[in-house]
């Protein structure tokens, strides 16, 4: 048994490997910047939580104290800024702190890549981070994984939506490139097993599934598992990576900031060039999962509402990670609010059920055209748009995504607070709550907006005439839906 530190525990892979490590008997500490994102996950009571940034040497030293093995599962998925320098600085800070604390092993998850100097910026940054760890005093296992396939992964969502939306698929030339996808459960198995590898090992290992496919074959493999006709695919030379990311931004719910690094990594063949990992971590008796089996399992888990983590949890657009500043009256800030209260004959649990299931396929109970238009504008501006949906149709946890909102706080049965992640000149929240009364319940809805500069104030004033329709209609329809559960949401 080892004491294991996991960075990136609020992410897609990190959030899934933590319970696997716990089940394997390890003590687990997680190092997170936004602890509220894991407040409601089932494994939270079983781990120690250290709060801080990876580029903060003091916080990092605290996180690695007493740790045997550290899993470094952090990677920037944003397209702007000098992310490569920031990632290198964070990795160097972490490696120095780990060495000083006597950590015996770092396990890093990177990406498969060809031996070329023309790697994309994001893939080159991942290679650079791996090299920082491999040249540090701490022995490192750098697992270089192919495209990860599983319920909730961004790569899986790109494949799904490109395949489902387009009966005929004009596509970039990279659809002909060879890739070696790997199922998320095999990635997790490698990560957990790497904790116990011999101390003297300090090297990279390529990991991929049993299938080497062209990207176009992956899309049609998805079609077969989803019961769809195979799609004719035409590779067009005019699709540059930039144009392709705009195309993905329009056709799929994956925003441009996440699509760019994924697409950029597909410009070359990315396949396993050595299988040395099998000498240390043998494949299971039944073998690694095939691509189509991984797709099938992902579809089954989604149908059963069992998506533990999702690409949706990735922070994009530089959305603030800090929660709504505490009342009263936000310490002299300029703040705009829209408050609606409705009495209802429905019980408090009935109203809460409607509140907790808002968004996604259920809609927003008001003026659907306005919500759709706002989402489309956000996508055109490079934002997340309205198509991220939600992880589970009826239940939400802190840190979950609901369309253009992030669940900031949940007080089950009483209050749901959402933070806006759409592009706008300011910061916004939407709070939905319910309390019991003698005659039923009282529903309260509060929109809070902190404008940024003159543009932020004009933004609120321009939209103000629509608030009565949007927010007022939402309050009326939510109460009505609670009183009449058979009612269809209106937005």
- List the domains of the chain with CATH numbers: 3-313 (3.40.50.720), 329-483 (3.30.530.20)
pTM: 0.69
CA distances from 182 to 12, 77, 142, 211, 486 (A): 15, 20, 16, 8, 42
Please give the pLDDT value at position 123. 83
pLDDT recorded at residue 310: 46
Please list the pLDDT of the chain residue by residue as tens digits (491 residues): 899 999 999 888 999 999 999 999 999 999 998 888 888 888 999 999 999 999 889 999 999 999 999 999 988 655 455 778 889 999 999 999 999 999 999 999 998 888 776 777 888 888 999 999 999 999 999 999 988 998 777 778 778 777 776 666 666 666 778 889 999 999 999 999 999 999 889 999 999 999 999 888 888 898 888 888 887 777 666 555 566 666 666 666 666 666 666 776 677 788 899 999 999 999 999 999 999 999 988 887 665 555 555 445 555 444 444 455 544 445 445 688 899 999 999 999 999 999 999 998 888 998 888 777 777 777 777 677 766 778 788 888 888 888 888 898 898 999 999 999 888 888 899 999 999 999 999 999 999 888 877 788 888 888 888 887 888 899 999 999 999 886 555 55
pLDDT, residue 245, reads 64
Q: What is the pLDDT of residue 227?
A: 84
Q: How far is CA 367 from the centre of its chain?
A: 28
List of residues 6+ apart from 320 with CB closer than 8 A:
419, 427
Q: Which residues, at least 6 apart from 490, have a Cβ–Cβ distance to it below 8 Å? A: 363, 365, 366, 368, 473, 477
pLDDT of residue 311: 42
Quote the pLDDT of residue 243.
65
Is residue 420 reached through a cis peptide bond, with omega within 30 degrees of 0 on the bond before it? no
């Amino acid at each position: 048994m080892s004491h294991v530190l996991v960075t990136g525990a609020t992410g897609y892979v990190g959030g899934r490997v933590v319970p696997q490590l716990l089940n394997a008997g390890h003590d687990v500490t997680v190092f997170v910047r936004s602890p509220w994102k894991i407040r409601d996950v089932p494994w939270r009571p079983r781990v120690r939580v250290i709060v801080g940034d990876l580029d903060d040497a003091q916080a990092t030293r605290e996180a690695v104290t007493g740790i045997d093995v550290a899993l470094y599962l952090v990677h920037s998925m944003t397209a702007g800024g000098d992310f490569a320098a920031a990632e290198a600085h964070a990795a160097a800070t972490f490696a120095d702190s780990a060495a000083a604390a006597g950590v015996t092993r770092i396990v890093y998850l990177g990406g498969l890549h060809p031996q070329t100097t023309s790697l994309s910026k994001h893939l080159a940054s991942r290679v650079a981070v791996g090299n920082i760890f491999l040249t540090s005093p701490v022995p490192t296992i750098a697992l270089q994984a192919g495209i990860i396939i599983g319920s909730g992964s961004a790569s899986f969502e790109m494949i799904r939506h490109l395949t489902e939306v387009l009966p005929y698929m004009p596509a970039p030339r990279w659809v002909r490139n060879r890739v070696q996808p790997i199922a998320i459960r095999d990635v997790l198995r490698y990560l957990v097993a790497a904790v116990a590898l011999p101390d003297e090992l300090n090297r990279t290992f390529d990991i991929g599934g049993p299938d080497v496919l062209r990207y176009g074959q992956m899309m049609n493999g998805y079609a077969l598992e989803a019961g769809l006709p195979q799609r004719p695919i035409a590779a067009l030379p005019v699709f540059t990576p930039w144009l392709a990311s705009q195309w993905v931004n329009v056709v799929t719910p994956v925003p441009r900031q996440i699509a760019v690094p994924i697409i950029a990594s597909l410009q070359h063949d990315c396949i396993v060039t050595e299988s040395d990992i099998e000498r240390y971590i043998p494949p299971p008796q039944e073998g690694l999962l095939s691509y189509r089996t991984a797709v099938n399992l992902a579809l089954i888990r989604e149908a059963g509402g069992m998506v533990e983590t999702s690409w949706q949890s990735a922070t994009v657009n530089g959305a603030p990670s800090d929660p709504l500043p505490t009342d009263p009256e936000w310490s002299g800030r300029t703040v705009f609010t829209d408050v609606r209260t409705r009495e209802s004959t429905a019980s408090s649990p009935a109203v809460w059920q409607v509140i907790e299931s808002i968004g996604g396929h259920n809609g927003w109970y008001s003026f659907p055209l306005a919500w759709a238009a706002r989402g489309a504008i956000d996508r055109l501006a490079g934002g997340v748009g309205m198509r991220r949906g939600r992880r589970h149709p009826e239940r939400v946890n802190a840190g979950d995504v609901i369309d253009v909102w992030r669940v900031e706080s949940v007080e089950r049965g009483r209050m749901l607070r959402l933070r806006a992640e759409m592009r706008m000149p300011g910061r916004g929240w939407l709070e939905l709550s319910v309390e019991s009364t003698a005659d039923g319940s009282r529903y309260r809805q509060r929109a809070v907006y902190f404008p940024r500069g003159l543009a932020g104030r004009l933004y609120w004033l321009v939209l103000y005439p629509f608030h009565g329709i949007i927010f007022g209609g939402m309050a009326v329809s939510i109460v009505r839906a609670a009183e009449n559960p058979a009612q269809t949401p209106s937005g």
